[in-house]
Amino acid sequence: MALCFLLLTSILGAVCQATNMDGQVFLFTNVSIDNYVTLKQELSVPLKSFTICLRAFTELTREYSFLSVRNPTKANAFLLFHSKYPERPIAIDVDGKEMVFTATLNTPERRHICSTWDSSSGVTQLWINGKPLVRKVMKRGATIQTPLNVIIGQEHDSFGGSFDKNQSFEGEISDVHMWDHVLLPADIQQVFLNNKHLNGNVISWRDLPFEINGDVLIVPVQKGVCEDQALTVCQCKI
């Protein structure tokens, strides 16, 4: 496993067995359609609800994709996106339907973002740094069909490809987790605080099979970086 980890940092397109990425980040070094990470989880059961969480750190102010999920027939089965609208900076797309969320964000800022969606009610919510935004309703009754291709750092307009350089990510992404159900608010708070006992049952950062494409590095998280400076007690990764 250690040898595989070292090879990943130096060989483009390297594939590794599932790796515990705790304390590490993917560093997307420049703007390019060639830089992305493909996650290799196999998902055989269609999704009727989910929770997806990740951390991101970037200086970009234009639109870009954090994470893109699609199947062979649907352009955006799920998309977590930074929009071009400053007053509505975060957008999600579920089964081809886009919804933007109003928030005040600073750039650069290390952010923890969680998105939840439930098919039965259509209730969709976004959490930023442990704080919920206003709930919205979209794609009630929809089902996200498999197979799914999950890519970090690009938005794919075809299954596994067709990237746009102007939507590519530059910066750091880490702590990617996905569940096939909606987490309780208390659990989302614990994920934000990096509770090591809460791991995604579909995608887990601590058991992550992936493939690196292009110039994406694996580097340690910056020591002593607090996830939310506004917290009275700020938990830091040391």
More confident residue, 15 or 198: 198
Measured CA to CA in angstroms, residue 51 lies from 36, 158, 171 at distances of 22, 24, 23
Q: What is the pLDDT of residue 234?
A: 34
What confidence tens digit (pLDDT) does each residue in 208-217 have?
999 999 999 9
Instruction: Kindly report the backbone phi and psi dihedral angles of residue 22, in degrees, each rounded to the nearest multiple of 5, phi listed first.
Output: -55, 130
Q: How sure is the predictor about 170, in pLDDT bands with cuts at 50, 70 and 90?
A: very high
More confident residue, 231 or 48: 48
What confidence tens digit (pLDDT) does each residue in 64-112 have?
999 999 887 777 889 999 988 878 899 999 998 999 999 888 778 899 9
Prior bond to 72 cis, omega within 30? no
Residue 135: name the closest of 182, 179, 85, 172 by CA. Answer: 182
Please check the confidence at residue 135 and state whether its pLDDT lies above 90: yes
Prior bond to 147 cis, omega within 30? yes
More confident residue, 199 or 45: 199
Q: What is the pLDDT of residue 82?
A: 93
Q: What is the pLDDT of residue 173?
A: 98
- Please state which CATH class domain 2-237 belongs to: mainly beta
Q: How sure is the predictor about 160, in pLDDT bands with cuts at 50, 70 and 90?
A: low
Q: For all residues of the chain together, what is the average pLDDT?
A: 85
